[in-house]
Amino acid sequence: MEAQKLISGLFKLQYHHTIIFTMSDNQFIFDNTYSLNINSHIIKHFNKINIKEINPTTNIINEYIFEGDLSILVDELVYHIFKEFNEGKNREIIKQHVLNYIHSHGIISQEICCWLSNNQNNSNSTYLFGYFNYHGIGTDLDKQKAIELYQKAAKLENRVAQLNLANMHIYGKEVDNDYDLAFELSKKLAEVECASGINNLGYCYNNGIGTDINNQKAFELFQKAADLGNSYGINSLGCCYEEGIGTDTNKQKAFELYKKAADLGNSTGMSNLGYCYYGGIGTDVDEQKAFELFQKAADLGSDAAQYNLAWIYENGDGIKDMKQAIYWYKKSAEQDYEIAQNKLKEILKK
């Protein structure tokens, strides 16, 4: 029981990691001056060939891609990045999907990166060049350059660039926090029904980021993001029900929402669901399920799950393994998870 009490006291619920537009099948707007519409001249290119069905053959590459139509692939790629961010997909999973998408179209990442550097003619190409620099796709990893490109695209009203910048300033891992900017960007995105932006705005109201704390407003925004299918919004709503933020406490409802977020592949939802199983919150205690969920979420990069997994390796009954504990504490600490950093220092002193 003491183990449960300790992990419960140290575990921190997370509402974060976001990132879109709920769109119709007809239109997806990236900025104020550029839209991808099935009736536009861009989509008419698909009468010639559907880019989703392209096989990576030399003839297709020479005839279709490298004769001026690579911009269509760029727009498609940004569309899919934005869509998956808005659904709440894990950042590393989105990156892998980007790599798969490039490979499936027979393109070498260095070639498209070079093309992007020489074709900065709209906000999508600017954003995608930033994305490639941020993740080291086809070029050396350069997060500072990526941030500068995101800023440039955001000024052109590129929604996904605005979303990435808002995330950075809210969670502050790559830039110094500018909470006023984070709030303004989140508010702007929420106004155009961007689900991740709505979730971010709820986070701002819940934590007083760039605005006064308003738990009722936060709850309403999390509910809206959840209704739009954003997995982080669903997880955030679960946190509200667990802690009674803007609504009555309902542990069972919290458990159900965490499970829904986890089933959608959300690593924070998995971690929170594991916490429920470990502490018997809204469900029966099941430490094995908790361990499995922490492991899965930790593998997906959840800093809280990495910490909880390490804690179990250090303190769990019949599973103690200090080598694994230190490994996962380090993983969590490397993501600036303060509790893990402090714990790691304590262990290494010994």
Q: Count of domains in the chain? A: 1
Asked if 199 and 233 count as a contact pair (C-beta separation under 8 A), the reply is yes
For residue 327, being part of any structural domain is answered with no
pLDDT-derived band at 11, boundaries 50, 70, 90: very low
Exposed / middle / buried, residue 187 (Cβ in 10 Å: 0-12, 13-18, 19+): middle
Q: pLDDT digits over 37-90, tens only?
A: 323 333 233 233 333 333 333 344 344 455 357 888 999 999 999 999 999 998
For residue 318, being part of any structural domain is answered with no
The pTM of this model reads 0.80
Domain with 144 in it: 71-175
* Beta bridge partner(s), residue 281: none
For residue 8, being part of any structural domain is answered with no
Query: Quick one: which H or E segment has residue 241?
Result: helix 231-243
For residue 169, being part of any structural domain is answered with yes
Per the listing, tokens 């402090």 go with: 342
For residue 138, being part of any structural domain is answered with yes
Among 3-7, 91-95, 243-247, 300-304, which stretch is predicted with the lowest mean pLDDT?
Answer: 3-7
Q: pLDDT digits over 115-173, tens only?
A: 999 999 899 999 999 999 999 999 999 999 999 999 999 999 999 999 999 999 998 77
Rounded to whole angstroms, how far apart are CA atoms 288 and 278? 8
What CATH number does the domain containing 158 carry? 1.25.40.10
